[in-house]
């Protein structure tokens, strides 16, 4: 089909934007449910993508990955402001954990929905630009939401999983774990780069590949 590459690119960009922007909105929305109005007051619960764009994470990094021929794009939106003391005052450690994992809940939900919808798509019936766009969008939505969900689940600062684990550890008075996570927080980005840019990346991304292959069948 003519212009299939352009359609694929548009679907990919849209799927990535929905995944990363929705991820951040859900953090703010969950905090709002626990009485923290910080994100709402800052206008960050809006679905307007312009208020969530991070020049590096939303534009530069995905573009660089695309033009370098990377197997998939990755990115992030501008973090929403959250006043965690307000959340914990109203929801305790459980509230703090839910706020930390809200974006991951969102990503896994979208990935599951995309997987279910793909099961009902007849690939032999793609006969228009719209149907091609729709299939591409579902596939890319599944991929990027799994990538973001599992990636952020890792308990490495500053990823969401590390915050959730830290609150869970403090909740259960596992001070050693909470203190350890705090002590390595300044090295979190270095640890992530080492895990991604070295042969360790094969193990780091193995769960992501497994889940994608499982859901896309």
Whole-number Cα distances in Å, 163 to 108, 110, 141, 152, 155: 18, 22, 25, 10, 7
DSSP3 helix / strand / coil % (the chain, rounded to 5):
75, 0, 25
Cβ atoms 200, 194 nearer than 8 A: yes
- pLDDT reading at 8 higher than 90: no
Q: What is the pLDDT of residue 72?
A: 66
Phi and psi at residue 173, in whole multiples of 5°?
60, 35
Who's near 63: CB < 8 A, 6+ residues apart?
Answer: none
Distance CA 15, CA 96 (A): 28
Total domains in the chain come to 1
More confident call, 2 vs 84: 84
- pTM value is 0.91
- Whole-number pLDDT of residue 70: 65
CB 156 within 8 A of CB 175: no
Name the residue range of residue 56's domain. 4-216
Q: Count CB neighbours of 120 within 10 A.
A: 6
Q: Is the pLDDT of residue 101 over 90?
A: yes
pLDDT digits (tens, 9 = 90+) for 172-215: 999 999 999 999 999 988 888 888 778 887 888 899 999 999 99
Percent of the chain at pLDDT above 70? 97
212 to 10, 88, 106, 129, 171: CA distances (angstroms): 21, 34, 16, 25, 33
Alpha carbon of 129 to those of 116, 135, 164, 206, 216: distances in Å? Answer: 22, 10, 42, 33, 22
pLDDT reading at 71 higher than 80: no
pLDDT at residue 155, rounded to an integer: 94
Q: Which of 181, 201, 185 is nearest to 193 (CA)?
A: 201
The answer to whether 129 and 1 are in contact (CB under 8 A) is: yes
What's the pLDDT score for residue 182? 93
Nearest alpha-carbon partner for 117 in 84, 140, 144, 148: 140
- Give the pLDDT score at 15: 95
User: What's the average model confidence in pLDDT over 65-77?
Assistant: 73
pLDDT digits (tens, 9 = 90+) for 150-179: 999 999 999 999 999 999 999 999 999 999
Report whether pLDDT(65) > 90. no
């Amino acid at each position: 089909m003519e212009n299939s590459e352009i359609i694929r690119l548009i679907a990919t960009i849209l799927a990535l934007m929905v995944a990363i922007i929705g991820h951040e909105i859900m953090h703010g929305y969950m905090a709002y449910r626990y009485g923290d109005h910080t994100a709402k007051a800052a206008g960050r619960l809006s679905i307007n993508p312009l208020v969530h764009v991070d020049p590096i994470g939303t534009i530069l990094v995905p573009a660089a990955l695309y033009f370098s021929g990377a197997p998939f794009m990755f990115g992030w939106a501008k973090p929403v402001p959250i006043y965690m003391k307000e959340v914990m005052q109203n929801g305790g450690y459980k509230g703090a954990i839910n706020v930390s994992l809200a974006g991951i809940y969102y990503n896994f939900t979208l990935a599951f929905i995309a997987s279910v919808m793909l099961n009902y798509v007849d690939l032999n019936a793609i006969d228009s630009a719209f149907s091609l766009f729709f299939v591409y969008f579902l596939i890319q939505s599944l991929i990027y939401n799994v990538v973001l969900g599992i990636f952020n689940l890792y308990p490495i600062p500053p990823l969401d999983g590390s915050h959730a684990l830290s609150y869970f550890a403090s909740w259960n008075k596992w001070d050693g774990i909470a203190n350890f996570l705090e002590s390595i927080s300044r090295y979190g980005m270095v640890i992530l780069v080492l895990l991604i840019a070295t042969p360790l990346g094969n193990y780091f991304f193995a769960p992501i590949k497994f889940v994608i292959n499982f859901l896309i069948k």
